[in-house]
Structure 1
Amino acid sequence: MSAASSLPLPAPLLLNDAAQAYARELQGNRCPHAAEAALADLDRYLGSPAPLLAYTRPSGAAWIATLPAAEQPAARALLDEFRAFLRAGDWFDAARPVNLFD
């Protein structure tokens, strides 16, 4: 067994961790509890605890399609804002494993 094969793999970043950070950033701007509840529902849809990389545009669209029609526009806007938060904070880059041994 080589030394490289005994190195532990890093734990994946979880969607819930990113959702909580996003909700904290919303403090004072608008109700963070509604956003956190909606993102917790997305996390359950993706198989809680879902890794952050399970959230993609297609998986988000599939989750939105499960919601009542009246809730879909707000959910779509929430995911657009959440995605912008993730990109601005480099969450996706941090969630991708790099330099792992072959």
Structure 2
Amino acid sequence: MTQRALPTLKAPWIVGRTLLLSHAADEFLNEVTRQTPWKRARWEELLAALDAFLGEPAPLLAYTRATGAAWLRALHEDEREDAQALLGEFRAYLREWGWLDSARPVNVAD
């Protein structure tokens, strides 16, 4: 029987402090800028709005599918398409890079 290695966590360790949404957002924006620089300004605005909606400075775990959906509903209709695309990519980034697992005291599915 072959043992599979667990994926390496890519999220930075923030020792002794709560992981904030802004920590993950900054790293996400750096990654997005490398791949699609034209998205940075708009997504930076939207992530700041999400953080404010969640009670800036919001802990990362304040962002859930339910709070994301509530934030989308609170936005003006013209902003929702961009915001929905952002949330999809941001959530995928949080999972892939281990941010959600690092933020939880116990491994709980998101």
Larger RCO (alpha carbons 8 Å, 6+ apart):
2
Q: Compute the TM-score of the two structures, normalised by the length of structure 1.
A: 0.82
Q: CA RMSD in A?
A: 1.4
Q: Could you say which residue in structure 1 is the equivalent of 2:60?
A: 52
Offset at 1:82?
Answer: 0.2
- Identify the match of residue 85 of structure 1 among 67, 90, 93: 93
* More moved, 58-67 vs 23-32: 23-32
In structure 1, stretches of 5+ residues that fail to align are: 1-8
In structure 2, stretches of 5+ residues that fail to align are: 1-14
Q: Compute the TM-score of the two structures, normalised by the length of structure 2.
A: 0.77
Q: Which of these two proteins has the greater Rg computed from alpha carbons?
A: 1
Structure 1 segments (4+ residues) deviating >6 Å: none
Offset at 1:73?
Answer: 1.5
CA contact (8 A) 1:23 1:33 kept: no
Distance in 1 between the 2:64 and 2:27 partners? 18
